[in-house]
Amino acid sequence: MKNLIGIDKAKAKVLSNKLNDLLANYQMFYQNLRGLHWNIKGKSFFELHLKFEELYNDAVIKIDEIAERILTLEEEPLHTFSDYLNSSEIKEEKSVTNGTKGVEIVVKNFAILVSKEREILNLASDADDEGTVSLMSDYISQTEKTLWMLNSYLK
């Protein structure tokens, strides 16, 4: 049986579950970025304050796109902080003021996100879900480039 957009309902359910997991992780990532943006101190303050803001602005767009994709697949996106805390592999960070440590946290969080995006890409491809494939493909290429840049910052 297929849903409204022609995806097998069982495969859409599996994809939605994985997208909800990604959504929870992006929500935690977003909140970590907000905390880093607010609390960062030191000689790299100006550049990192702006970078963390750029990253959280991007994350909030992705959060909305992921939730809307879940709805398109005819499922319900997670939408409570308790769901995010219980589901996310990315853990909350608190009171980080050191710029290098902040960038290391972002790199670690991005590594988790890109791994989940690759898993979803493979599942979406198997389900002939071009919409999710396209979304994940875009996210992966953006994340890879950002990871390279942040890793270069840490060298």
Kindly list the domain boundaries of the chain, sorted by start residue: 9-154
pTM: 0.97
3-state secondary structure of 98: strand
The fold of the 9-154 domain, in CATH, is Ferritin (1.20.1260)
> What is the distance, to the nearest Å, from the Cα of residue 58 to the centroid of all Cα atoms in its chain?
10
pLDDT for 136 equals: 98
The per-residue pLDDT for range 17-42, each reduced to its tens digit, is 999 999 999 999 999 999 999 999 99
Distinct helix (H) and strand (E) counts, the chain: 5, 0
